[in-house]
Structure 1
Amino acid sequence: MEQDFWVFVRENIIGRNAVIRTPFGKRKLTYADYTASGRGLLFIERYMQKVLELYGNTHSEDDATGMITTERLHQAEKTIKRLLNAGEQYKIIEDGTGATGAVHRLQQILGVYIPPAAKDSFQKLLARYFQGKELKPFESFLLQNRPLVFVGPYEHHSNEVSWRECLTEGIEIDLTEEGLLDLDDLETKLSRKEFRHRQKIGALSAASNVSGVVTPVYEVARVLHRHQALAFFDFAAIAPYGEIDVCRDAESYFDGIYFSPHKFLGGPGSTGILIIHQKIYRKDLAPTIGAGGTVEYVSFHEQQYYPEIEIREKPGTPGILQIMRTALVMELKQKLDPERILKREKELIRRALKRFNACNPIEIIGNKDPDKRIAIFSFNIRLGTSYLHPRFVTILLNDLFGIQSRAGCSCAGPYGHRVLHIDEKKSLKFKERLMHGYSGVKPGWARLNFHFLMTDEEFDFIFDAICFVCRYGKYFLSLYRFDIHTGIWFNKGYSPPKVTFGLEEAVRAGEGEREERSLQELFGRYKHEALKIAEALKNDFDEKAIKTTEKDLIPFVYL
């Protein structure tokens, strides 16, 4: 391919010329939300169409479609494992649509997950059997001997809340003063004498989906193994950008990893991936789901399961196309060159930190060392002793400039408590307000990320827009209504277009991508129009009319 491959991929991003309607007119979409989800790619979708021409179910190899699809599926799984350095001792298991399904399957394999209804039924049966006599000593024994799960300080809910619902005791590792994982605290907690007889499981994020701070995973794995603990890592936030080696050496290997390929370029529509070392799997037990495809023989009264882990953990019809798509997007990352990706990321991080530092009202969350983070940024904009509401910030970026970002706590509540300095007393106040239906007071931040394929022009445009919101955002408060019950901001004089979906639209589809337009011309016009509106609003703005949510929480401004 003569042109630079990065340019080719960038030009194949689906929706790169999409236009959205906002209260201030039409805006070209500028996507800065890859941390939540990747974007589709035309050449991958066209290839998947070709795959569909000879697609068939994989549970038969007696016809062409079954045979070809089965072979392609096997090739896809081999590709995924090869790119993770997962040799024969590692097994691939696909589940759900992302890391959430994958970690849930891991918990089932480890034998620590019990469905809530089953747990409740079991507790009732125990109560009936013991009739209150010996139940409490049994419960005490159970609590003192259940497995320990060591989680990091910046986990996604999927890798923390899910473990809380298991038959495990959670041990959180602290942050250092620099906002990094405290390896000394991990070592100390693993070394406790009272933990010696208990199974130890390490389940930590490889990077924060809030601050982008990176975990030294190989060093962590080494520490965990030194204390006879299993080492599992959630790579959801960093997998689309960094290289992963599950079997680096005899000490820092991983017992398992899980991630969300939908966050990759071309990834939407893929499947959650779990890679495990075969030593953690018990083949003497039934698979996690007994179903078609897992059984070698079934009679009237018994069944025999396949001994191969990758077969017995593939119940029913697998996500065939989803697995193939996953392999393709992982191959794509490799072809884009992880070293080049890393170099571009570091460049964008340094430039972003320089621009953020120039905007005084901005408070960035997390460690600012470019060598200890990826290009994910979460921030708040201070206004005096209060803040612009994070969802108001994202609404203005969308409505005025077409920039796609995200606001909230990014499914990382415990980390949010730490970085926003929310103590137990304040946390209980927040909970009380939320339980009474006031979701608008919920703390959080605005989040975006600077993808390595983002052009310099797009980068500068996004920062110009952020700086504009810092300087002029408060003047737009009068144009929006804040619903304190939901946290949603509504433009007072605007009704958004109806969102449609259905077969009729599918039949009419196929007009193709819109014609490329000059970004310089569009971005310049958006900034000029936003400034013109801001200046007009500034003339009529009454500072005294600003209201704030409760000052003893984290106060947000509104009118």
Structure 2
Amino acid sequence: MSLPSLDVERIRKDFPVLSRELPGGRPLIYLDSGNSSQKPTQVIEAMRDHLAMHYSNVGRAHHALGAESTEAYEGARDKVAAFVGAPSRDEIVFTKNASEALNLVAYAFGNPMGGDPRFQMGPGDEIVVSEMEHHSNIVPWQFLAQRTGATLRWFGVTDEGRLDLSGLHELVNERTKIVSIAHQSNVLGTVNPVAGVLARAREVGALLMLDASQSVPHHPVDVAALGADFVAFTGHKMVGPSGIGVLWGRGELLSAMPPFLGGGEMIEAVWMDRSTFAPIPHKFEAGTPPIVEAVGLAAAVDYLSAIGMDAVEAHERELTAHALGALGEIPGLRLIGPGDLADRGGTVAFTLEGIHPHDVGQILDDVFGIAVRVGHHCARPLHLRFGIPATTRASFYLYNTTDEIDALVKGLHHVQKVFG
């Protein structure tokens, strides 16, 4: 059976920014989609049309515009639910980004408003993350540990950039209340072995959360098949707008959790001394939501669905294979992460011997118009583990080509000559 293929040249025409020239006549080569993806015309126009012709607040205006806006907003929930295989649309909570989704779940633990024993947290209880996490999946759990007296523990990372599972049974134990790890690393590209971690979490009665910000845009993801309890991802990395993220959670868990934010639309009834709350998902969506952003996210889901996530994944796999081979021939280049295609996505991070990543990124941009990310990519503990302050990261998406990777390699050789 042949893998699906993409008509990349046709796809590129959907993204206006890819045809622009940078100052000096340099064509743009965008290799920073792990940071934030570019947006197709279909998403831009859907948002523009809603703002121009249909905009009103949702769930509260009893007129035509209010009905149209509510229908568009709740329709976006339906589309996102179908895209990730959610058993129920009510399990899709819109947030402003993945960070807020992760914080929402962390806030539920040890909250005196919640009485469910699964969310009780205190001294002697443990939280498990990993050394490869984005700060968004570390800091909320640090806050939780500080707030409740629980202990934060973590998986290490192997020299190859894989999750170190050698101590799985000791690390995830009867004291563990939740394990929260990346589905795919934003630096290493590693796709983590969810099944094994989930099996151990189930053995000890712990919950499992996945930060899927780097996986949902690039692979077919079915939350029911994954088996996790919570999954967080964000719109701006999947050809959608910024300002909207998604928390998927098992319905019975979301129903048991206390609200994260208080305000309009998340209530059932309010008295001066108490309130009751709306059912999920609205219990977690206080105030005016990101209406136009939800419309844009729905258009992004439509766009990716029409192309097919199997095809997106296969294309990125080809790009990654090409990149790993080409970068491996550059003397003095150290790859940070897996050197083969097994359980990895289209993100490659590296260092060049004797050259700071900030200098690499600046020359690539100034001379070649190549946009890459430099720094610690909001994953400083991972860089400390590898004994480096920063890396250069190239991340690929459905609109990238092998020619652009070849341009990156040419640019890196030029950087070495400059500093040679």
Same fold (TM over 0.5): yes
**Cα deviation 1:26-66 (Å, max 9, x = unaligned):** 42221111110011222221122222202211132521111
Offset of residue 299 of structure 1: 3.8
User: How far apart, CA to CA, are the structure 2 residues paired with 1:112 and 1:262?
Assistant: 30
> Hey, what does 2:359 align to over in structure 1?
392
Which of 9, 12, 18 is residue 10 of structure 1 equivalent to? Answer: 12
Shift of 1:199: 4.8
2:254 & 2:314 partners in 1: Cα distance?
A: 38
Looking at structure 2, the residues matched to 89 and 204 of structure 1 have their Cα atoms a distance apart, in angstroms, of 24
User: CA, structure 1 residues 411+270, in 2 after alignment: closer, same or farther (shift >3 Å)?
Assistant: same
Q: Which has the higher contact order (CA 8 A, sep 6+)?
A: 2
Q: What is the rounded CA distance, in whole Å, between the counterparts of 1:163 and 1:172 in structure 2? A: 11
2:261 to 286, 289, 296: 289
4+ long deviations beyond 4 Å: none
| Counterpart contact for 2:332–2:352, Cα < 8 Å | yes
Distance apart, 1:85 and its partner CA = 1.2
Residues 236-272 of structure 1, C-alpha deviations (whole Å, 9 max, x = no match): 1222101211111xxx51110111220112x233402
Which residue is equivalent to 1:102? 101
Distance in 1, matches of 2:170 and 2:358, equals 40
- CA distance in 1 between counterparts of 2:69 and 2:90 reads 23
> How many angstroms does 1:292 deviate by?
1.2
Report the CA distance between 1:161 and its aligned residue: 2.1
Determine the structure 2 residue equivalent to 1:316.
287
Whether the aligned pair in 1 keeps the contact of 2:81 and 2:89 (CA below 8 Å) is: no
Partner of 2:62: 62
SS in 2 for 1:292: coil
Please state how far the C-alpha of 1:187 moved relative to its aligned partner: 2.4
Q: CA deviation at 1:177?
A: 4.8
Which AA in structure 2 matches 1:447?
R
Q: Are positions 1:169 and 2:171 aligned together?
A: no
Q: What residue identity is the alignment partner of 2:19?
A: N
Name the CA distance, whole Å, in 2 between partners of 1:85 and 1:253: 11
CA distance in 2: counterparts of 1:56 and 1:344, whole angstroms: 39
Residues 156 and 163, structure 2, Cα contact 8 Å, conserved in 1: yes
Once the 2 structures are TM-superposed, how far is the Cα of residue 5 of structure 1 from its aligned partner?
6.0
How far does residue 162 in structure 1 lie from its aligned partner after superposition?
2.1
* SS state at 2:79 partner: helix
Question: After the TM superposition, which residues 281-430 of structure 1 pair with which residues of structure 2 at under 5 Å, given as runs?
Answer: 281=254, 283=256, 287-306=259-278, 308-382=279-353, 387-420=354-387
SS in structure 1 at match of 2:392: strand
Q: Which moved more, 1:270-279 or 1:373-382?
A: 270-279
Q: Secondary structure at the match of 2:22?
A: strand
Matched-pair identity in % = 26
Whether the 8 Å CA contact 1:396–1:473 is kept in 2: the answer is no
User: Residues 230 and 49 from structure 1, CA distance in 2 versus in 1: closer, same or farther, beyond 3 angstroms?
Assistant: same
CA distance in 2, matches of 1:290, 1:322: 21
Look up the SS of the partner of 2:304 in the other structure: helix
Matched, 1:255 2:198: no
Please state whether the residue corresponding to 1:417 is helix, strand or coil: helix
Q: After superposition, give the CA deviation of every residue in 1:57-109 in whole Å (9 maximum; x if it has no partner).
A: 1132521111111112111101111111111396122222x211111111123
Deviations 1:164-197 (A, max 9, x none): 1213321111224543112332223224xxxx3x
* Structure-1 residue corresponding to 2:93: 93
Following the alignment from structure 1 to structure 2, what is the Cα–Cα distance between the partners of residues 71 and 450?
34
- Residue correspondence of structure 1 range 218-257 to structure 2 within 5 A: 218-248=195-225, 253-257=227-231
* Number of positions where the alignment pairs a residue of Structure 1 with one of Structure 2: 403
Residue 276 (structure 1) aligned with residue 221 (structure 2): no
SS at match of 1:388: coil
**Distance in 1 between the 2:336 and 2:156 partners?**
16
Asked whether the 8 Å contact 2:42–2:303 carries over to 1, the reply is: no
Per-residue Cα deviation, 1:97-143 (whole angstroms, up to 9, x for no partner): x21111111112334699xxxxxxxxxxxxxxxxxxxxxxxxxxx96
Residue 116 (structure 2) aligns with: none
Contact 1:380 1:445 (8 Å CA) reproduced: yes
Q: Describe the SS at the equivalent of 2:269.
A: strand
* Secondary structure at 1:77 match in 2: helix
Change (3 A) 1:366 1:273: same
Write the distance in 2 (CA, Å) between the matches of 1:298 and 1:291: 10
1:270–1:204 Cα change, 3 Å: same
Q: Distance in 2 between matches of 1:189 and 1:89?
A: 34
C-alpha distance in structure 2 between counterparts of 1:89 and 1:50, whole Å: 25
Query: Aligned partners of 2:35 and 2:159: how far apart in 1?
Result: 28
Q: Which amino acid aligns with 1:293?
A: E
**Alpha-carbon contact 2:128-2:176 (below 8 Å) kept:** no
Report the 3-state secondary structure (helix = DSSP H, G, I; strand = E; otherwise coil) of the residue aligned with 2:342.
helix
CA distance in 1, matches of 2:342, 2:128: 25
Distance 2:139 2:273 in 1: 39
1:514 matched to which residue of 2? none
Shift in CA distance, 84/362, structure 1 to aligned 2, threshold 3 Å = same
> Does the 8 Å contact 1:270/1:325 carry over to 2?
no
Read off the aligned partner of 2:419 and give its amino acid letter.
Answer: K
Letter in 2 for 1:406: R
Letter of the aligned partner of 2:264 in structure 1? G
Give the C-alpha shift of residue 409 in structure 1.
0.8
SS at match of 1:281: helix
* Change over 3 Å in CA distance of 1:401–1:178 after alignment to 2: closer
Identify the residue that residue 512 of structure 1 maps to in structure 2.
Answer: none
**TM-score, length-normalised on structure 1?**
0.68
Question: Could you tell me which residue of structure 1 aligns to residue 400 of structure 2?
Answer: 454
Q: Is this contact kept in 2: 1:107–1:113, CA < 8 A?
A: no
The 1:411–1:46 alpha-carbon spacing in structure 2 relative to 1, beyond 3 Å, is same
State how far apart, in whole Å, the 1-side matches of 2:317 and 2:276 are. 53
Aligned residue for 1:457, secondary structure, equals helix
- Give the secondary-structure state (helix, strand or coil) at the position aligned to 1:257: strand
| Residue of structure 1 equivalent to 2:123 | 144
Corresponding residue of 1:515:
none
In the alignment, structure 1 residue 468 sits paired with structure 2 residue 414: yes
2:77 is equivalent to residue 77 of structure 1: yes
- Give the match for residue 50 of structure 1: 49
Q: Unpaired segments of 5 or more residues in structure 2?
A: 1-5, 114-120
Gap change, CA 1:311 and 1:473, over 3 Å in 2: same
Shift of 1:370: 0.9
